[in-house]
Chain A
Amino acid sequence: MRILIFATNHFLEHVRNRFVLISFFVALFLFALSLILGEMSFSEQKRMMIHFGFLAIYLTLLGLSLFLGSSVIQKEIERQTCLILLSRPVHRYEFLLGKFLGIVFLQVLIWAILGLTLVVLLNFNVPLLSFTLALVGILLEAILLLSIAMALGLWIKPAVALFASIGFFLVGHWQKDLVFFAFKSGDPVFIQFSKIVQTIFPQFYRLNYRSSYLVEKDLILESFFPSAIHALFWIGFFLTLSALLLRRKDLV
Chain B
Amino acid sequence: MNFMKALIVRDLEKTFLDGFWRTKKKVLKKVSFQVAAGQTTGFVGVNGSGKTTSLKCILNFIFPEQGEILFFDNQTIGPKVKSQIGYLPERPYYYDFLTAEEFLKFHWRLAGKGQGFHLACRQILEKVNLLQARHKKLKSFSKGMLQRVGMAQAILHQPQFLILDEPMSGLDPDGRLIIKEIIREEQKRGTTIFFSSHLLGDMEELCQDLVIIHQGQVKYEGSMNQFILKSNIDYRITYVPTEKWDPLEIIVGKEKLQGEIDRLRQGQNQILKITPAQLEIEKAFSQLISADRSTPETQI
Please indicate the chain B residues that have their CB under 8 angstroms from the CB of A80 in the complex: 89, 91, 93
Query: In this assembly, does B153 line the interface, its C-beta being within 8 Å of a C-beta of chain A?
Result: yes
Given contacts A84-B150, A248-B63, contact A90 B91 (CB under 8 A): no
A126 to chain B, nearest CB (A): 37
Q: Looking at the assembled complex, report how far the CB atom of B109 sits from the nearest CB atom of chain A, in whole angstroms.
A: 5
* Identity of the chain A residue whose Cβ is nearest the Cβ of B80 in the assembled complex: A89
The residues of B that contact A87 with a CB separation of less than 8 Å are 59, 82, 85, 87, 163
**A86 to B87 CA separation, bound complex (whole angstroms):** 10
Does the CB pair B111–A86 fall under 8 Å? no
- Closest beta carbon of chain A to B95's beta carbon, Å: 6
Q: How large is the interface on B (under 10, 10 to 19, 20 to 34, 35 or more residues)?
A: 20 to 34
Say whether A192 faces chain B, with CB atoms less than 8 Å apart. no
- Tell whether, in the assembled complex, residue B93 and residue A88 are in contact, meaning their CB atoms are under 8 Å apart: no
Judge whether B111 and A252 touch: CB under 8 Å: no
For A250, list chain B residues within 8 Å (CB). 61-63
> Which of A13, A250, A251, A252 gathers most chain B CB within 10 Å?
A250
Are B95 and A13 interface neighbours, CB within 8 A? Answer: yes
Asked if residues A83 and B89 are in contact (CB atoms below 8 Å), the reply is yes
A90 touches B61 (CB 8 A): no
Residues of A within 8 A of B91 (CB): 80
Contact among B60, B79, B82, B110 for A5, CB-based, below 8 A: B110
Pick from A12, A13, A84, A252: contact of B62, CB under 8 Å = A252
State A91–B60 Cα separation when bound (angstroms).
Answer: 11
User: How far in angstroms is the closest Cβ of chain B from A77?
Assistant: 9
Which chain B residues border A9 with CB–CB below 8 Å?
Answer: 95, 98, 106
Among A80, A81, A88, A252: residue with most chain B CB under 10 A? A88
A16 touches B (CB below 8 Å): yes
Supposing A84-B87, A251-B56 touch, asked if A90 and B110 sit within 8 A by C-beta, the answer is: yes
A156 close to B (CB within 8 Å)? no
Question: Is the Cβ of B79 less than 8 Å from the Cβ of A91?
Answer: yes
Q: From residue A51, how far is it (CB to closest CB) to chain B in Å?
A: 36
Q: Is the CB of B61 within 8 A of A86?
A: yes
CB distance from B135 to the nearest CB of A (A): 15
- Give Cα distance in the complex from A13 to B97, angstroms: 6
- When C-beta atoms are compared, the residue in chain B nearest to A79 turns out to be B93
| B259 at interface, CB cutoff 8 A | no
A81 partner, pick from B79, B94, B109, beta carbons under 8 A: B94
CB interface residues, B 190-225, toward A, < 8 Å: none
Instruction: Kindly report which residue of chain A lies nearest to residue B52, judged by CB atoms.
Output: A252
Contact present for A89 and B82 (CB under 8 Å): yes
Q: Which of B76-125 contact A (CB under 8 A)?
A: 79-80, 82-83, 85, 87-89, 91-95, 97-98, 106-107, 109-112
Nearest 4 pairs between A and B by C-beta? Answer: A89-B79, A87-B87, A250-B62, A88-B110
Q: Using a CB–CB distance below 8 Å, which chain A residues touch chain B?
A: 2, 5, 9, 12-13, 16-17, 79-81, 83-91, 248, 250-252
Can you name 11 A-B pairs with beta carbons within 8 Å? A2-B110, A5-B106, A83-B59, A84-B107, A86-B59, A87-B82, A89-B112, A91-B79, A250-B63, A251-B62, A252-B16
Other than the known A84-B88, A84-B89, A251-B61, what 16 A-B pairs have Cβ atoms closer than 8 Å? A5-B109, A9-B95, A9-B98, A13-B95, A16-B97, A17-B97, A80-B89, A80-B93, A83-B61, A86-B59, A87-B163, A88-B110, A89-B112, A90-B79, A251-B56, A252-B62
